[in-house]
Amino acid sequence: MNWQAWKRHAGRMLAMTLVGLITIPSQAISDEVEATDQAPAHEAIVVGTPARIEVFPAQFKLAAPGRQMHLIVTGHYADGSVQNLTSVAQVVSQDDKVAAVEGAVVHPAGNGATGIIVSVGGHEQNVSVEVCNQETADPVSFQYGTLAVLSKQGCNMGACHGSPSGKGGFRMSLRAYDPVLDIETLVREAFNRRTNLYEPEASLLLRKPLMEVAHGGGRRLKKSDPGYAVLRDWIEQGCQVDPADAPTCTTLEVYPTERILMRPAHTQQVVALAHFSDGSVRDVTALACFSSSDEAVATVDDDGLVTGLDRGEAAILVRFLDKIETSSMMFLKQVPGFHWNSPPENNFVDHHAFKKLEQLQILPSELCTDEEFVRRVYLDVIGILPEPAETAAFLADADPNKRARLVDQLLERPEFAQFWALKWGDLLRIRNAKVTVGGVHKFQRWLVAAFRDNMPYDQFARDLLTATGSTFENPPANYYRTATETNDCTETTSQLFLGIRIQCAKCHNHPFERWSQDNYYGIGAFFNRVQRKPGVNPEEQVIWVARAGEVTQPRTGQQMQPWLPLTGTAELAGEGDRREALVEWLVKPDNPFFAKVEVNRIWGHLFGRGIVEPVDDFRDSNPPSSASLLSSLADDFANNGYDRRRVMRNILNSRTYQLSSRKNEFNADDVKYFSHANTRLLSAEQLLDAICRVTGVAEKFAGLPSGTRATQLPSPDVDIEFLKVFGQPARETACACERSSDSNLSQALQMINGPLVHGKVRDENNRLRAQATAGKTDEQIVDELYLAALCRHASEAEMATATAHIANAGDRMRGLEDVCWALLNANEFLFQH
């Protein structure tokens, strides 16, 4: 068929799909969900009758002029619920000469001690305040005043003057990570252009953000902002830097750290308290930056007032210079007509998943059908579709335990090990250019064996991370071949085994996370002694470890000690291989990252979305959708020998995994709590194998044994256009995100009239011709194609349309090809559901 003819053919086929040859369960594959619950509600706070009230802080000190304290008033009710009553409570100072009250904020007035009476809902609390040192004002701190304000106003954010080249010729360090650079830029650079020591108000640093002088960044400051006075006073005081012995901020405290609010309650004031090395505690709410992890659920304003918009959870991120803390908020509401139907719990996975759904009033979908299950579990566990005979046998099986039996069988199949080796091959960047052709095969065989033998995950990590020797004799040593230098080792290891994307901290403190530049190079200190040299074979490399060698932090020039996240500096003997110590820490069952990251990765693979999503991006500002689900899976994993098959079995046997993708009115807008199966396009390799399965025509890959499937490829070096179009990663990075799941026009063209699909549909030895040759009827062949492509029998209507089309096609083979082609282009085939 020439191109013109094929185009006509394609057009005809498309029309056929449209007229309904294929009945697609449209709801099952639709991701379009109407938002129903988005509008913010501004009900006035109904105080009701709290059982008691609580005021935070219970007592405090204002130890310098200008310090202040936000009070948070919380009502506790008999039913266990709480409500923020700060804005409606009466707050009165017992002595205005000592402390003055404005709203719920207490300001110092004069030295002394007094009480602040807070009353609301028939309750009263007395908060004691001590005011001292009012006679001498502290000079404005450069670090904790000026730089905090410039951060709060957004001046030094990445899109503005914090970008590496600055904006408008004015560059500050991103989120003030480098005060030494900033003092230079603000004061001495450009011949003192930006600050005016003689007339502080005339400073460009103030006039630009006020928009008194044209400013590309627009208006960023008002004279009424607390930050204006800080900046002006700092300039007036001579643009001083902090003395070397000035107290430093040691920790940031956020209150409340977590809160569950049931509508009508849906607002919460959050305060930020900075603890300093001199023991003082300062309310820095006005200088801290607030952001919400999910703006659709809750927003937070510059003053730390959180407003819930929808059912769900959001982490409120509070940043004060390099200190970051979060406040976890959950917003609930009574959904009209909602009734929890207590679906059966197959195991602890369901227990945790359903508990969250019940709390959020989201009703899970029904159990999926056997047809849906068999297709889903084959694709997820071994990457390929079942043969029609396998499907038919499963559907016919009357054993009530057949799903669990199938799970057990699939986990033992050789394709399982090969499919999961493909997944890890991506993460370990196995490709010719990185580890040579010979290296690819050796490394892939090691990976396949690890999955086949169910190598415990701690052993798996240890083999990779502590590898030495020849990359040919000891394939895991390729870990240090693909990671060619210390920084690559730091970033790869952090992302793969800790779920931390630490790359940002290479050049500056992480802008959204707690990781600092020191941390980055502290992790590097575990890897910098790893050395690489050529082996005997020209393709081979030998990994060895030098006895000594230290990492220098490039900005400060300091030599870094090995450092472990949330643990701190590791005390290690001067010489030797430090990687052992890293692995010892990593694989301890109580390690807060290791087990969670892997169970989340497995979950993400099986559900198309991690409990933490993206699966390798664990951070305070990206909380898990169910912390208890994640930790219960991780605990079970860590306490049972890091058995990955056990994790998969637990998940696959859960009702949560086996829920239908068809939604109900109570879970239609849920995307992250696993109340229904998540429809998604098959991966590139799954799709190619599925096309081969349906047509019965295998794909040949140059240099690989015939019969090799796409889901068994050792590396992407086969260079198949179809695979690239559907998102096969080039394995350049260790990020799971490199595998693209975006859909695009090229994909549609590949499916509608691409040479690969066309060739297989027309192949002289394909399934439909073999069936015809074997004397099968149209009905039998159509049913076989349905079973192969969709793991179900054709419905009566579908069968009638298909056979009528074949009868009218003029040429039986053309008619059968049309049906086969239409099936391959059906969403029900293209999607996992």
Distance CA 22, CA 826 (A): 7
Nearer to other proteins, 189 or 580 (CB): 189
Q: Taking the complex as a whole, how short is the minimal distance between the CB of residue 10 and other proteins, in angstroms?
A: 46
Nearer to other proteins, 188 or 700 (CB): 188
Is the bond preceding 57 in cis, omega lying within 30 degrees of 0?
Answer: yes
Whether 264 and 249 have beta carbons less than 8 Å apart is answered as no
The reply on whether position 196 binds other proteins by CB under 8 A is yes
The reply on whether position 76 binds other proteins by CB under 8 A is no
Q: Where are the alpha helices (DSSP H) in 97-248?
A: 148-152, 179-183, 189-192, 204-207, 226-236
Using the CB atoms, write b or e for 581-618: b if 16+ within 10 Å: bbbebbbeeebebbbbbbbbbbbbbbbbbbbbbbbbbb
The reply on whether position 202 binds other proteins by CB under 8 A is yes
The identity of residue 689, as a single letter, is: D
Q: Which of 12, 193, 413, 555 binds other proteins (CB under 8 A)?
A: 193
Residue listed under structure tokens 């394609």: 10
Nearer to other proteins, 194 or 501 (CB): 194
Choose among 822, 808, 752: nearest CA to 778.
808
The reply on whether position 3 binds other proteins by CB under 8 A is no
Distance CA 407, CA 403 (A): 6
Whether 522 and 569 have beta carbons less than 8 Å apart is answered as yes
Residue 168 CB neighbours (<10 A):
12
Stretch of 99-107, 214-222, 404-412, 718-726 contacting other proteins, by CB under 8 A: 214-222
The reply on whether position 213 binds other proteins by CB under 8 A is yes
The reply on whether position 208 binds other proteins by CB under 8 A is yes
Stretch of 59-67, 198-206, 336-344, 472-480 contacting other proteins, by CB under 8 A: 198-206
Binding mask 458-477 for other proteins (x = CB under 8 A): --------------------
Q: Where are the alpha helices (DSSP H) in 99-166?
A: 148-152
- 441 Cα distance to chain centroid: 31
Q: Which of 10, 100, 211, 262 binds other proteins (CB under 8 A)?
A: 211
What is the Cβ-side half-sphere exposure of residue 519, based on CA atoms within 13 angstroms? 21
Nearer to other proteins, 208 or 323 (CB): 208
Whether 230 and 237 have beta carbons less than 8 Å apart is answered as no
Nearer to other proteins, 193 or 812 (CB): 193
Stretch of 134-142, 203-211, 692-700, 757-765 contacting other proteins, by CB under 8 A: 203-211
Choose among 139, 156, 135, 155: nearest CA to 242.
139
The reply on whether position 238 binds other proteins by CB under 8 A is yes
Distance CA 143, CA 140 (A): 9
Pairing between strand 289-292 and 312-320?
antiparallel
Distance CA 555, CA 569 (A): 19
The reply on whether position 649 binds other proteins by CB under 8 A is no
Q: Taking the complex as a whole, how short is the minimal distance between the CB of residue 204 and other proteins, in angstroms?
A: 5
Q: Which of 39, 46, 214, 396 binds other proteins (CB under 8 A)?
A: 214
Q: Taking the complex as a whole, how short is the minimal distance between the CB of residue 187 and other proteins, in angstroms?
A: 8
- 665 Cα distance to chain centroid: 27
Nearer to other proteins, 207 or 724 (CB): 207
Stretch of 108-116, 196-204, 736-744, 805-813 contacting other proteins, by CB under 8 A: 196-204
Stretch of 186-194, 282-290, 454-462, 794-802 contacting other proteins, by CB under 8 A: 186-194
What is the separation, in whole angstroms, between the first and last Cα of the chain? 34
Nearer to other proteins, 213 or 800 (CB): 213
Distance CA 559, CA 572 (A): 14
Stretch of 173-181, 208-216, 547-555, 811-819 contacting other proteins, by CB under 8 A: 208-216
Q: Which of residues 141-180 bind other proteins (CB under 8 A)?
A: 168-169
Nearer to other proteins, 203 or 766 (CB): 203
* Site residues for other proteins per CB under 8 A: 168-169, 184, 187-188, 191-194, 196-199, 202, 204, 207-208, 211-216, 218-219, 238
